[in-house]
Amino acid sequence: MLGTTYVDVIQEFKIEIDGQWGPYLYCNPANVSAPTGPWQCTVELGTHGGPPSPPQCKANFSLYGGYCVTGRSRNLTVANLGACCDAASQARTEHFTFYEQEKVCSLPEGFYPRYEKCADGVVGSRSHHESVCNCSRVHKTVGREDLNYAMGSHSSSRHPAGGFWFSHPEQGRCTGDQRIGDGSGCTWRVVERVRAIKASCMYKRLDERVEAEDANCFSACGPRNVTSTCYLRCFSEAVRSMTPDQLAAPWLQALASTDPSKGGCPDTPDEWY
């Protein structure tokens, strides 16, 4: 029996919307181990597969169970998850990993961590959003969030390319012959799917551009290892020196052409998504 192969893809669509913006919805699999199963969309990041969020975490961090953050970090011995949240808040870090069995709180350095699965870990990621009404209309309206506003003083370090996040709730999608403004209540519809490419191709183009920004730093790390502390440090420093247009260019080029010599990515076969 042949198994099912899932390939991460990046797609470009033309979308028609009603223009009544709502808050950006954070949509994630209800079970991170079953990405093709049901998803939940909410105005709060909340806790995903981890333990109940203690008071010290609720206001500042969203929790992700079964993961850990790799890279250079400072480790502390703490009594529990809440104490780790306290330590991360005081250190003003963007992320942390709490290891339940060892009672260790790991505070990574830098803004571009890599997540890996680890059974004993709970990752905390700092929340940068305001609470809004989690009501029915919110789950039908196209959401929009300006990264420069949402991240405040952290915007240039966490999302240096800037731009907007958009969410398109399933409840508001026009289907069949439905059209926006026809009384059906739908708020957005797909006009055309323009491109679909492998995510790995896109990320390769982006990594190549970032590595070219400071080739000396990356070459000093030795054999290429994207999870090494040296590579992550060079990547973080290179990204901070680049303009939003420079960071956006690999994405635009990858979708604009199928020619690798022009930075493009080939189309992805329909059966892969």
pTM of the prediction? Answer: 0.65
* pLDDT one-digit tens code per residue, 162-219: 788 899 998 999 999 999 999 999 999 999 999 999 999 999 999 999 999 999 999 9
* pLDDT one-digit tens code per residue, 24-52: 887 777 776 777 788 778 776 655 566 77
* Residue 76 confidence (pLDDT): 94
CA distance 246 to 259: 19
Residues in contact with 45: Cβ distance below 8 Å, sequence separation at least 6, in sequence order: 26, 62, 125, 127, 129
CA distance 127 to 157: 15
Domains of the chain: 9-28+130-196 (no CATH), 58-126 (3.50.4.10), 197-272 (no CATH)
More confident position, 128 or 259: 259
Contact 142, 166 (CB under 8 A): yes
Mean local confidence (pLDDT), 132-156: 71
Q: Could you tell me the CA-to-CA distances from 107 to 30, 72, 115, 123 in Å, in that order?
A: 27, 9, 13, 10
Kindly report which listed range (14-23, 67-76, 212-221) carries the lowest average pLDDT score: 67-76
CA distance 143 to 205: 28
pLDDT at 110 over 70: no
* Residue 1 confidence (pLDDT): 43
| 3-state SS track over 71-132 | CCEEEEECCCHHHHHHHHHHHCCCEEEEECCCCEEEEECCCCCEEEEEEEEEEEEECCCCCC
Is residue 244 packed enough to be buried (19+ CB in 10 Å), middle (13-18) or exposed (0-12)?
middle
